[in-house]
């Protein structure tokens, strides 16, 4: 979901721009280590490929069709850093050339789709992509990337006091769920297709790794995004939104709760991995 300009409140778009700019700079430096400047054309072409692939309809029943978003696919094919750079490039082109998504809102859209979406798409593959669970891992990555981006977008809209009726929220959640499943399925199908067509280009199988700490981090991420989604969907949220003065404090409360849950998971994961290493 590309958020246009004018929807997000000042603190939200400013904050996300301030977060995304250094994050993208960091990720670009990481990608540059794996792909030196001579390989920039490959990343550009991969971006054009995803852009074009987004045009292809995938029937998902009842006469509706879904489209590839591509964050998880790129993460599996190119690694997470390069995938984030390519997704950012896609979002930049969409905002400037096609007026799809705002320019000040780029910080938010990049954070949702190019950073969180790609990371959520990559983590399951990183953890489970080496063994028998490879296909389910890729599927999970596709689904989580859509869920994470959608949840964050909804959270940002609700934090900006954009009114969303409860029924609409439920409908969006349903649509996002369908798109998430579709993204997972499409990503798996395309990776399998690539492996069948040109095995040389297929992504390397990752070595099986110690999955416990990473698993906890992934759970943390899932909890955080689901938490954000629930935070914006609870009935009080809508009432609070229309009450002047109360909503900001309530939102901070909820956001704090989500952050605490996330931090707790990360700390537990750290403790767990330290114990294993010992």
Partner 1 sequence: MHHVVLESWSRQNSALHARDPRVKIVLLAAYLAALGTAARMPALTTLCYAAPLAAAAGMARLPARALLLRTAVVLPFSATFAAFSMMAGDAGRGEALLAKSYLSAAAVLVVTATTPLPKLLWGFEALGFPRFLILVVQFLYRYLFVISGQAQHMRLAARCRGSASGRLGFRRAAGAIAVLFARSYARAEGIHDAMLARGAAGQIRLLAGARAGGRDFAFLAFGIAVIAAVRIWSL
* Stretch 163-192 residues interacting with partner 1 (CB under 8 A): 163-165, 168, 185-186, 189-190, 192
**29-68: contacts with partner 1 (CB under 8 A):** 29, 31-32, 36-49, 51-53, 55-60, 65, 68
Q: CB nearer to partner 1: give 50 or 128.
A: 50
3-state secondary structure the chain: CCCCCCCCCHHHHHHHHHHHHHHHHHHHHHHHHHCCHHHHHHHHHHHHHHHHHCCCCEECCCCCEECCCCHHHHHHHHCHHHHHHHHHHHHHHHHHHHCCCCCCCHHHHHHHHHHHHHHHHHHHHHHHCCCCCHHHHHHHHHHHHHHHHHHHHHHHHHHCCCCCCHHHHHHHHHHHHHHHHHHHHHHHHHHHHHHHHCHHHCCCCCCCCCCHHHHHHHHHHHHHHHHHHHHHHCHHHHHHHHCCCCHHHHHHHHHHHHHHHHHHHHHHHHHHHHHHHC
**209-268: contacts with partner 1 (CB under 8 A):** 238, 241-242
Q: How far is the CB of 16 from partner 1 (least distance, A)?
A: 12
Q: Which stretch binds partner 1 (CB under 8 A): 2-10, 216-224, 227-235, 264-272?
A: 2-10
Q: How far is the CB of 169 from partner 1 (least distance, A)?
A: 10
Q: CB nearer to partner 1: give 36 or 207.
A: 36
Q: How far is the CB of 212 from partner 1 (least distance, A)?
A: 33
The reply on whether position 207 binds partner 1 by CB under 8 A is no
Given a contact cutoff of 8 angstroms between Cβ atoms, the answer to whether 254 and 181 are in contact is no
**113-172: contacts with partner 1 (CB under 8 A):** 161-165, 168
Q: CB nearer to partner 1: give 161 or 206.
A: 161
Give the whole-angstrom CA distance, residue 241 versus residue 154: 14
Q: How far is the CB of 245 from partner 1 (least distance, A)?
A: 15
- Count the residues of the shown chain that bind partner 1, applying the rule CB under 8 A: 74
**73-112: contacts with partner 1 (CB under 8 A):** 77, 85-86, 88-90, 92-93, 95-100, 102-104
Q: CB nearer to partner 1: give 192 or 267.
A: 192
Name which position in 28, 178, 223, 266 contacts partner 1 (CB under 8 A): 28
Q: How far is the CB of 120 from partner 1 (least distance, A)?
A: 21
């Amino acid at each position: 979901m590309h958020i246009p300009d004018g929807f997000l409140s000042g603190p939200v778009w400013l904050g996300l721009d301030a977060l995304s700019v250094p994050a993208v700079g960091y990720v670009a430096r990481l990608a540059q280590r794996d792909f030196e400047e001579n390989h920039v054309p490959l990343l550009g072409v991969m971006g054009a490929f995803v852009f074009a692939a987004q045009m292809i309809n995938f029937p998902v029943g009842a006469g509706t069709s879904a489209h590839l978003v591509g964050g998880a696919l790129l993460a599996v094919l190119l690694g997470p850093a390069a995938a984030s750079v390519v997704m950012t490039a896609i979002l930049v082109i969409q905002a400037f050339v096609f007026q799809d998504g705002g320019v000040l809102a780029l910080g938010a859209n990049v954070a949702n789709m190019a950073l969180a979406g790609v990371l959520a798409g990559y983590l399951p593959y990183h953890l489970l992509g080496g063994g028998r669970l490879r296909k389910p891992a890729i599927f999970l990555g596709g689904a989580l990337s859509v869920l994470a981006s959608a949840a964050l977008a909804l959270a940002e809209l609700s934090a900006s006091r954009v009114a969303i009726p409860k029924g609409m929220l439920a409908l969006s959640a349903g649509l996002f769920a369908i798109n998430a499943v579709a993204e997972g399925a499409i990503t798996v199908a395309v990776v399998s297709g690539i492996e069948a067509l040109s095995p040389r280009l297929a992504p390397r199988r990752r070595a099986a790794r110690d999955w416990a700490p990473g698993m906890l981090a992934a759970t943390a991420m899932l909890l955080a995004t689901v938490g954000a989604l629930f935070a914006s969907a609870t009935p009080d949220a809508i009432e609070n939104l229309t009450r002047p003065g109360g909503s900001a404090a309530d939102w901070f409360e909820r956001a704090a709760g989500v952050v605490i849950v996330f931090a707790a998971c990360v700390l537990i994961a750290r403790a767990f991995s330290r114990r294993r290493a010992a």
